[in-house]
Amino acid sequence: MHTRSYDAIVLQAHDVGEADRFLILFTRERGKLAARARGVRKIKSRMGGALLPLHRVTVDLAEHASGFLVTGCQIQAPSPRKNLREFLAAEQAIDLLLSLLHDEEPLPEIFESTCRFLGRTDYERHHVLAYTLHLLSLLGVLPGPAADEFYAHFSPDERAFIRESTQSHFPEHAPPSLHRLSLLCRRLVEEQGGRALRAAEIVQRCLDA
């Protein structure tokens, strides 16, 4: 049995059995991993409060033939979500990662980009779109800015937003309308991930309410 420490973001946590928790982690070192944490829901467990969605943790994983087992955990940064806007932005980011990432594919640039995004406290609506474009660019899904035919129907403002998103990740300003950029991102994500994004639908309902 080999144990190693990982820098990780908890993407999902599901209670299983009497006291266990099944986790989906995004690690800097090995990408997306599934792991089981035994007994963490017991009152005396020191790990239960750390192994929650959106927490950034240092987690010790023992690799078995049947998968990964959590043997230790320490919080680096708790979930910073303090209001609905921050929570919805974070949920969209997690939904994107769950849809697009493959298991055990190290993606350190995407890990760092996600940590920066989740660490923001001044979310605007266009920041989620910028993060999505940045993610798609790092995954090689979004055509480069020189693909004139692909971007022919976008305005100069929209093309500038795409360029800035792929380079600096958080443009200061957004085009007057985000509709066409949102449709582009949704189409690319659903083509790659093979499913509709649940978080995006929830966010839209909240915005329309």
CATH number for the domain spanning 72: value is: 2.40.50.140
C-alpha–C-alpha distance, residues 68 and 83, integer Å: 33
66 and 111 co-located in one domain: no
122 and 166 co-located in one domain: yes
Question: DSSP label at 28?
Answer: T
24 and 61 co-located in one domain: yes
70 and 89 co-located in one domain: no
**Domain range for 27:** 2-77
Q: What is the tally of structural domains in the chain?
A: 2
174 and 90 co-located in one domain: yes
pLDDT digits (tens, 9 = 90+) for 111-168: 999 999 988 878 888 888 999 999 999 999 998 877 888 888 899 999 999 999 998 7
Q: What is the per-residue pLDDT for 81? A: 64
**Domain final residue, candidates 53, 77, 101:** 77
38 and 136 co-located in one domain: no
25 and 117 co-located in one domain: no
36 and 114 co-located in one domain: no
Percent above pLDDT 70 for the chain: 90
Give the DSSP per-residue string, 105-137: ---HHHHHHHHHHHT-S---HHHHHHHHHHHHH
Q: What is the per-residue pLDDT for 144? A: 80
33 and 54 co-located in one domain: yes
94 and 161 co-located in one domain: yes
Residues paired with residue 85 on neighbouring β-strands, in sequence order:
none
- Against a cut of 0.75, is the pTM above it? yes
**Domain final residue, candidates 57, 77, 97:** 77
67 and 118 co-located in one domain: no
Structure token pair of residue 48 = 């239960």
124 and 189 co-located in one domain: yes
